[in-house]
Amino acid sequence: MAFLCSSSLPSCSIAIFSKSNTDGFRSSSSFRFRLRPISASHILAPSIDRSAILISETVSEDELWAAACLRVRTFNELNPSSYNIQDHRRYLAEREFEALKERVSGKREGFTRVSCVNATLPLSQLSTSSEDLCSACKYSDGIEDRVVVGSLDLNQCRWLPDEIAGTKPEGFSVDFARAYLSNVCVAKELHRNGVGYKLIEKSKGVAREWGITDMYVHVTVVNEAAKRLYMKCGFEQESAEPAWQARYLNRPQRLLLWLSLPTS
């Protein structure tokens, strides 16, 4: 989750345009930028009412925008004192937003279906210490102001670009029965509140509705926090990226984790 995070790319990765990920990030196909390593946070988690956390598929563009802003905030290490830093953040968020809309709307070639699953909290639940998160990732659901505090993509496809492909299931069903998680992230202010676990459990439910039998996620070898989370959710290692490939792509080596979803 960047604590824990997941696709297009480092210590995991994230792809802002279409490069899928590793711990759930992304990295642009046209350029690369520095990504913050995904590691367990030592920030004291705020006291919140966990029952107020809502996990659901995104239904509005306003919420998609808030999710894009959270991903930029999570996956990119930007110097706050840099010139025009806010303009650069908005530029990255706009790119992520457009790419996310394209995938969710079914316009991205190679993806059968994509859903953006978010964890949100009422704005009133977050303290003044989370002012930056609230201003960057706030949206209105028509009833109240909420803040996206966690996000991931569920991708129904054969493989993610530049990533190790899963091997299950085999045969004709691979086009509709395999899925990958990507861009998994949780706001650092909400680490250790079970947000990542809730996101993954929700995505498992959505995947079952789609008829998915095998779910995958990529995680960097050194991302112990993310590996513990995925193992807790039932994933197990299927394969590892060859070291030469990681060197060629100039990124940390990744593992491919697999989860079998029982059919009802």
Q: Which residues are catalytically annotated?
A: 230
Paired with 19 in beta bridges are: 27
Evaluate the omega torsion of the peptide bond into residue 262 and state whether it is cis, within 30 degrees of 0. Answer: no
Question: Tokens for 139?
Answer: 């949206």
For 56-60, the CB contacts below 8 A with 24+ separation are 56/117, 56/118, 56/120, 56/202, 57/115, 57/116, 57/117, 57/118, 57/206, 58/104, 58/115, 58/116, 58/117, 58/118, 60/139, 60/141
Residues 6+ away with beta carbon under 8 Å from 178: 156, 157, 158, 166, 168, 169, 212, 213, 214, 215, 216
Residues, the chain = 264
